[in-house]
Amino acid sequence: MVKVVLSSGSASQQFTGGETEFEVEATTFRRLVLELEQRYPGLGKQVEESMAIAIDGEIFQDAYAAELQAGSEVVLIPKIGGG
Protein backbone atom coordinates (compact mmCIF):
# COMPACT_ATOMS: atom_id res chain seq x y z
CA MET A 1 0.00 0.00 0.00
CA VAL A 2 1.14 3.56 -0.67
CA LYS A 3 -0.07 6.63 1.14
CA VAL A 4 -1.60 9.24 -1.15
CA VAL A 5 -1.74 12.86 -0.01
CA LEU A 6 -3.66 15.59 -1.82
CA SER A 7 -1.56 18.68 -1.42
CA SER A 8 -3.22 21.14 -3.68
CA GLY A 9 -6.37 21.70 -1.76
CA SER A 10 -9.87 21.80 -3.03
CA ALA A 11 -9.26 21.29 -6.76
CA SER A 12 -8.60 17.60 -6.22
CA GLN A 13 -10.73 17.21 -3.12
CA GLN A 14 -13.83 17.71 -5.24
CA PHE A 15 -13.27 14.15 -6.43
CA THR A 16 -12.59 12.65 -3.00
CA GLY A 17 -15.41 14.17 -1.05
CA GLY A 18 -12.94 16.17 1.00
CA GLU A 19 -10.58 13.32 1.87
CA THR A 20 -6.94 14.44 1.75
CA GLU A 21 -5.10 11.27 2.73
CA PHE A 22 -5.82 7.66 1.88
CA GLU A 23 -4.04 4.42 0.98
CA VAL A 24 -3.93 2.75 -2.43
CA GLU A 25 -2.51 -0.56 -3.65
CA ALA A 26 -0.16 0.32 -6.52
CA THR A 27 3.41 -0.40 -7.59
CA THR A 28 3.70 2.10 -10.44
CA PHE A 29 2.43 5.57 -11.29
CA ARG A 30 0.29 4.03 -14.01
CA ARG A 31 -1.37 1.62 -11.61
CA LEU A 32 -1.87 4.47 -9.14
CA VAL A 33 -3.71 6.54 -11.77
CA LEU A 34 -5.98 3.60 -12.58
CA GLU A 35 -6.69 2.90 -8.91
CA LEU A 36 -7.44 6.56 -8.22
CA GLU A 37 -9.83 6.73 -11.16
CA GLN A 38 -11.62 3.61 -9.99
CA ARG A 39 -11.97 4.81 -6.41
CA TYR A 40 -12.66 8.48 -7.13
CA PRO A 41 -13.98 8.87 -10.70
CA GLY A 42 -12.34 11.90 -12.30
CA LEU A 43 -9.31 12.03 -10.01
CA GLY A 44 -7.19 9.62 -12.02
CA LYS A 45 -7.85 11.60 -15.19
CA GLN A 46 -7.07 14.85 -13.38
CA VAL A 47 -3.78 13.43 -12.07
CA GLU A 48 -2.81 12.09 -15.47
CA GLU A 49 -3.57 15.27 -17.37
CA SER A 50 -2.73 18.13 -15.11
CA MET A 51 -0.83 17.00 -12.06
CA ALA A 52 2.62 15.86 -11.05
CA ILE A 53 3.33 13.47 -8.23
CA ALA A 54 6.03 13.49 -5.61
CA ILE A 55 7.08 9.96 -4.70
CA ASP A 56 8.86 9.99 -1.35
CA GLY A 57 9.75 13.60 -1.97
CA GLU A 58 10.90 13.43 -5.59
CA ILE A 59 8.72 15.05 -8.25
CA PHE A 60 7.74 12.97 -11.29
CA GLN A 61 5.79 14.25 -14.30
CA ASP A 62 4.15 11.98 -16.89
CA ALA A 63 6.05 8.87 -15.87
CA TYR A 64 3.88 5.74 -15.94
CA ALA A 65 6.78 3.51 -15.02
CA ALA A 66 7.85 5.42 -11.93
CA GLU A 67 7.98 2.80 -9.19
CA LEU A 68 6.14 2.95 -5.90
CA GLN A 69 7.47 0.99 -2.95
CA ALA A 70 5.29 -0.39 -0.17
CA GLY A 71 4.93 2.42 2.34
CA SER A 72 5.79 5.13 -0.20
CA GLU A 73 4.22 8.52 0.25
CA VAL A 74 2.75 9.96 -2.94
CA VAL A 75 1.80 13.64 -2.93
CA LEU A 76 -0.36 14.98 -5.74
CA ILE A 77 0.64 18.50 -6.77
CA PRO A 78 -0.06 20.76 -9.75
CA LYS A 79 2.09 20.02 -12.78
CA ILE A 80 5.02 22.39 -13.07
CA GLY A 81 6.11 24.27 -16.18
CA GLY A 82 8.54 27.12 -16.44
CA GLY A 83 9.54 30.07 -18.53
**Chain positions contacting other proteins, by CB under 8 A:** 5, 7-11, 13-14, 18, 49-50, 54, 56-63, 66, 75-83
Q: Whole-number minimum distance, CB 36 to other proteins, in Å?
A: 16
Complex with other proteins: residue 6 or 26, whichever CB lies closer: 6
- Contacts of 23-28 with CB under 8 Å at 24 or more apart are 24/74, 25/1, 26/2, 26/68, 27/67, 27/68, 28/64, 28/65, 28/66, 28/67, 28/68
Q: Whole-number minimum distance, CB 35 to other proteins, in Å?
A: 19
